[in-house]
Amino acid sequence: MWKRLARAAAMSVVGCGVALVAIGTLSGAQDAQAATINFDSLSSGDLVDNAFVGLGVTFEDAVVSNTSGTSPGATSPNTIVHAVDGIVVSPSDPIIAIFSSAVTGVSVAGFDVGPDGIVLNAFDAQVGGSLVDTAQSSVFGDNIILTVLNPNILRVELSKLSSDSPGDGVSFDNFVFEPVSAVPLPAALPLFGTGLGILGFWGGGDGGRLSS
């Protein structure tokens, strides 16, 4: 009888482990929702800086502007431009977004895109690091969306693609990023192994037959 009870207890441990893993998986999926920043909670002239630190991102050299804020696709009234150079966001001095933890994807929309185009570069470090993805466009117009994807993005830089046309400018809006999803399923494997080991121990010794 005692072996039967022990085996039932072991099976209960395994079952609880499966339930906890399932809950963890669902929780991770729910937590990893995309965050969208449209800068409309700020006022024209505000430096973005730490305004969205609660969402896990800070900005460098970004200032809120009304430039192209009413263009098709923009969320009126605000966009962002370079804090020093305004709409002339040079590739050598981009707007930077730094994440507190890795994200898997980032997208942003460019407005009043002209002959110099726009580019979005993703890096695997908050400072320095390696380029892990890039997106660019030379299409003229508004709401030109760029997207970069990689499981370890910690910084992105957005700017014009080139500086071939002096005075050509751009502004940005609708900054979206996707946090890394928690995938705890592999953590269940040691638990399964332990549970099965317990089952083998208590069920062994008599050919696997239950004994009273």
Q: Note every long-range contact of 195-198, with CB atoms under 8 Å and residues 24 or more positions apart, other chains counting.
A: 195/10, 195/11, 195/13, 195/14, 195/17, 196/14, 198/6, 198/10, 198/13
Beta strands at 95-111 and 57-60: parallel, antiparallel or unpaired: antiparallel
pLDDT in tens, 180-195: 874 544 544 454 454 4
How much is the pTM?
0.72
Mode of pairing for the β-strands spanning 144-159 and 95-111: antiparallel
In the chain, which stretches have pLDDT less than 50? 2-3, 5-30, 182, 184-185, 187-189, 191-192, 194-196, 198-199, 201-202, 205-212
The two structure tokens encoding residue 2: 């005692």
Q: What residues pair up with 157 in beta bridges, in sequence order?
A: 96, 121
Distance, in Å, from the CA atom of 13 to the CA atom of 118, rounded to the nearest integer, reads: 55
